[in-house]
Structure 1
Amino acid sequence: MPPKDETVKKEKQGRPWLTIALLVLTLLLSGGYIYYFFFGGSKGVNASSPTSRQETAIMQKMSLEPIVVNLADPGLRRYLRTTITLEYGNAKLTAELNEKVYRVRDTLISVLRSKKTDDLQNEDALKRELLTAVNAQLVGGQVEALYFEEFIIQ
């Protein structure tokens, strides 16, 4: 019967190592979960929400008076009526835009008056061209976006 006692003894000796290994594995998994929860996972979710709120809170806008121009279509009497809003992030640019609103409007009118009806079909290209023209008039900052609130061709 001594062989049975040796088998039981060997099983009891192997169990403490198994228990320790399971305990260490459990601690590592728990630590990883806690680290992810407090430092990894929550940062990604919460960091995007306040940033987007801050960006919308920081952005300034200026709506211009409606602009009416004759289009450059030969032989046709067409005109464009549009209302444009400028969006920018620099609050100091508000003062410069208020001082130069006549220049900005003149620049927009000049660009729009040179367009034909077909040129107005690509809205993104038109916005980029107008934005470049407006930013050329400014010294203290740049307008980041331009939006059409009204765009009527007749």
Structure 2
Amino acid sequence: MAIDGEAPKKSKKKLIIILGISLLLLAVLGAGGFFGYKWWMGKKAASAGGDNATEQKADAGHGEKKAEGGQGDKKDEKAGGAAGEGGELVSIPPFLVNLADPQGRRYLKLALDIEVKDKAAADSLNKNMPKVKDALLLLLSSKTYDDLASLENKILLKKEIVERLTLVVGEQKVSRVYITEIVIQ
């Protein structure tokens, strides 16, 4: 009987050890999967952030060209540098748009500053803000990730935005569009 009594204890110990090792292995694999996912998604987010940095450099370059063509007085350049050559800036707060992606998993976060010719044009743009947002949402939601990924495509997008806004507020009122924030994910 002593032999029969020891056999179940050993099999119970083996069962507990196997169960413990299985749980430990499951925890290690789960943690590895979690960190692998975070690392992989972090790489994608970093590439989207790189696009953002490139766009900000491009916008800075456009502003410098405007300042060089000014009156030559440094005080005047600083005073008028925020809105180019005497124009007004109208900020459009950031908004999210689902991109026309086949899987429907990509989105665009975009904030803009719109340079208009004068105060009356700025008032007209603010008055028609729902129409402006509608035009922008329709334009942006028709874009895919590939349509927005390169610098050339972002410059083309800025031109398309100017064209759409011109339809809303009228001819010769919108001078330029500045992308102040862009996240493509």
TM-score of the two chains, using structure 2 as the length reference: 0.53
**Superposed CA offset, 1:42-64 (max 9, x none):** xxxxx831596485462210111
Greater helix share, 1 or 2? Answer: 2
Question: CA–CA distance in 1 between the matches of 2:126 and 2:88?
Answer: 13
Does the residue aligned with 2:180 lie in a helix, a strand or coil? strand
Structure 1 contact 86–145 (Cα < 8 Å) conserved: yes
**Superposed CA offset, 1:72-107 (max 9, x none):** 011241110011110122221121111101111110
Structure 1 residue 140, shift from structure 2 partner? 7.0
Structure 1 unaligned regions, length at least 5? 1-46
Question: CA–CA distance in 1 between the matches of 2:95 and 2:127?
Answer: 18
> Which residue is 1:92 aligned to?
120
| Larger Rg belongs to | 1
Structure 2 contact 91–112 (Cα < 8 Å) conserved: yes
Look up the equivalent residue of 2:183 and give its one-letter code.
I
Does the residue aligned with 1:48 lie in a helix, a strand or coil? coil
Does residue 181 of structure 2 align to residue 150 of structure 1?
Answer: yes
Question: CA–CA distance in 2 between the matches of 1:139 and 1:125?
Answer: 20
Structure 2 unaligned regions, length at least 5? 1-69
Aligned residues: 108
Question: CA–CA distance in 1 between the matches of 2:90 and 2:127?
Answer: 12
Question: CA–CA distance in 1 between the matches of 2:173 and 2:80?
Answer: 16
Look up the equivalent residue of 1:87 and give its one-letter code.
E
Look up the equivalent residue of 2:100 and give its one-letter code.
A
Q: Which runs of 4+ in 1 moved over 6 A?
A: none
TM-score of the two chains, using structure 1 as the length reference: 0.63
- Percent of paired sites with the same residue: 31
Does the residue aligned with 1:137 lie in a helix, a strand or coil? helix
Look up the equivalent residue of 1:67 and give its one-letter code.
F
